[in-house]
Structures are given as C-alpha cells and as structure tokens.
Amino acid sequence: MRDEELLVQIHRVHAANFGVYGAKKVHAQLRREGISVARCTVERLMRVAGLRGISRAKGPRTTISGRGPDNRPDLVERDFTAT
C-alpha cells in the first residue's frame, strides 16, 4: 500500500520536472517536501514504473576506427617523403 502511495508522488515529481529527474533527484525532492522515503525504494519503484531520468553522457558512438593497417589505395598520388 505504501508503494502505491509513493508511486503517485514519484510520478508527480517526475512529471513536474519534465521527466528529466532520475532517482537521486526525485528522492531529494521528495525529502524536501517532507516525504520520508529511502532512495533504494525510489529507485525500485521508478524501475518498476519504467521511469528514467535523462543521462548527461554523450550520445551514441557512431564512428569506430578499424583494427588493421590502412591499406586503401592513394587515389591522389601524394608523396609523403621529406625533401
């Protein structure tokens, strides 16, 4: 029963902050509002409800360098020797 009550509050806080708050900030906001709850409980309930915050990490890595030597032909016939 407590989980259902907390889930309503978590949904409210998450939606009020445009869905960008993760478990850590949702927990802090609930504590500021006087709702006593453990952070692990907030994490568990957010996971069950499918709520996630926005990550500050970079986007997906799209270019991955090759592993072997570069064996492509030199189509412009450059000369990399010193004069």
Residue 52: in which H helix or E strand, if any? none
Cα separations in angstroms, 78 against 7, 32, 75: 65, 66, 8
Mean pLDDT of the chain: 90
pLDDT of residue 5: 94
By C-alpha distance, which of 21, 61, 17, 58 is closest to 43?
21
pLDDT of residue 7: 96
The residue-averaged pLDDT of 52-78 equals 82
d(CA 26, CA 69): 49
